[in-house]
Structure 1
């Protein structure tokens, strides 16, 4: 099988697993509503920037990338 096809299949499986964890694990780790996320609500304007959630996702992706390169 073509290596690009294998990579795309693997990426699809990983995305499905992440989506399932996010859907069912969202009750325990409320990503997007963590303390430190910026939320400003005024009369007609609502601004929301999940900075802490972005940092946590970045750390997890960096750790996954490191582990992938370590065991490759």
Structure 2
């Protein structure tokens, strides 16, 4: 892999991170931060709470897989 191709990849990753940050900031300003989807694990006992977003992780993984496959078909 040459230096120019690696530079383009790093720029693309950087733009993705910036866009993801802007999106998360916007969602938190709208009050949509911490949305709990049915199927996510949430346990609360006394002063202990545990939250594991199983379904959210599956949905994000599916969306990212679709996006990467669409981009990679060029």
Task: Give the TM-score normalised by structure 2.
Answer: 0.76
**Structure 1 unpaired stretches of 5+:** none
CA-to-aligned-CA distance 1:24-72 (integer Å, 9 cap, x gap): 13548655522221100112422110011101110111111110122x2
Residues 33 and 39 from structure 1, CA distance in 2 versus in 1: closer, same or farther, beyond 3 angstroms?
Answer: same
Residues 31 and 60 from structure 1, CA distance in 2 versus in 1: closer, same or farther, beyond 3 angstroms?
Answer: farther
**Structure 2 unpaired stretches of 5+:** none
Query: Aligned residues, how many?
Result: 71
- What is the alpha-carbon root mean square deviation over aligned residues? 2.1
Q: Which of residues 40, 45, 56 in structure 2 aligns to 1:42?
A: 45
Cα separation, 2, equivalents of 1:43 and 1:28: 26
Structure scoring higher RCO (CA < 8 A, sep ≥ 6) equals 1
Cα separation, 1, equivalents of 2:23 and 2:8: 23
